[in-house]
Structure 1
Amino acid sequence: MDRRKGFSMNITWVRRTHRVLAVAFLAAVLITVIGLSLSGPEWVVYLPLIPLAGLFLSGASMFVRLLRGPHPLSAFGDRAGRLRQVHRWSAVVFVVAVVATVIALAQPEPIVWISYLPLIPLAGLFLSGSFMFVSPLVRARRAQ
């Protein structure tokens, strides 16, 4: 079996899983916000953690594969490649911001404003991820 073909099939599965987890995470966040606004149970705040952990693991897997070498089927000179790069690095900045937030809030006198720091790269992740999620659907519809 050609190594490139195996790599392509494996990364395709991880990307699909990542997309499904992104939709599940968004749904879990919406359920959490609605549940908390209706004075629901407090355990609902932990609901988004499950798909978030999956997103982290699948995203880290794709990032590590990228560090091993570029994807054989991708062209990083095009717009989609640049958008993927922005999405990847936003994910890295998001993880660093979350770690910094955990450290800052664990201090004896926590710095509360740092808890808003991860929202900036999270917005970038949301916008770039939404665009990457919707663009193949729009492209397929235009092709019809």
Structure 2
Amino acid sequence: MNGNSAIRQFHRWTSIVFMVAVIFNTVMLVLGRQATWVGLTALFPLILLMITGLYMFALPYLAKSRTPSPARDAA
């Protein structure tokens, strides 16, 4: 497994953790047991999702800048 597929797999599993945290937050809200720590349970996976998502979003642009274009080779 190379680095990019490991990041994608980590992103997938983190999204599952985030979904469970949001469901837990919603259930606690409906039961009336809302606390600050319950609201923050989804924050950590959300930050990880943002970081890995931005990395995967930037991958095609980084790959374009690393591969030489035919116009540069001809010059």
Same fold (TM over 0.5): yes
- Indicate the residue corresponding to 1:95 in structure 2: 19
Between 1 and 2, higher relative CO (CA 8 Å, sep ≥ 6) is seen in 2
| Kept after mapping to 2: 8 A contact 1:105/1:112 | no
| Kept after mapping to 2: 8 A contact 1:94/1:122 | yes
- Indicate the residue corresponding to 2:63 in structure 1: 139
- Indicate the residue corresponding to 2:32 in structure 1: 108
Q: Note the alpha carbon deviations across 1:7-27, whole angstroms, 9 max, x for none.
A: xxxxxxxxxxxxxxxxxxxxx
Alpha-carbon shift at residue 111 of structure 1 (Å): 2.4
Gap runs ≥5 in structure 2: 69-75
| Kept after mapping to 2: 8 A contact 1:94/1:118 | yes
Bigger Rg over Cα: 2
Q: What does 1:1-144 correspond to in 2, within 5 Å?
A: 77-144=1-68
Taking structure 2 as the reference length, the TM-score comes to: 0.82
The root-mean-square deviation of aligned C-alpha atoms, in Å, is: 1.2
| Kept after mapping to 2: 8 A contact 1:97/1:117 | yes
Moved over 4 A (4+): none
- Indicate the residue corresponding to 1:56 in structure 2: none
Q: Note the alpha carbon deviations across 1:71-127, whole angstroms, 9 max, x for none.
A: xxxxxx111110000000010000000000011112234223201110110011100
Whole-Å Cα distance in 1 between the matches of residues 46 and 14 of structure 2? 7
| Kept after mapping to 2: 8 A contact 1:90/1:125 | yes
Q: Identical aligned pairs, as a percentage? A: 31
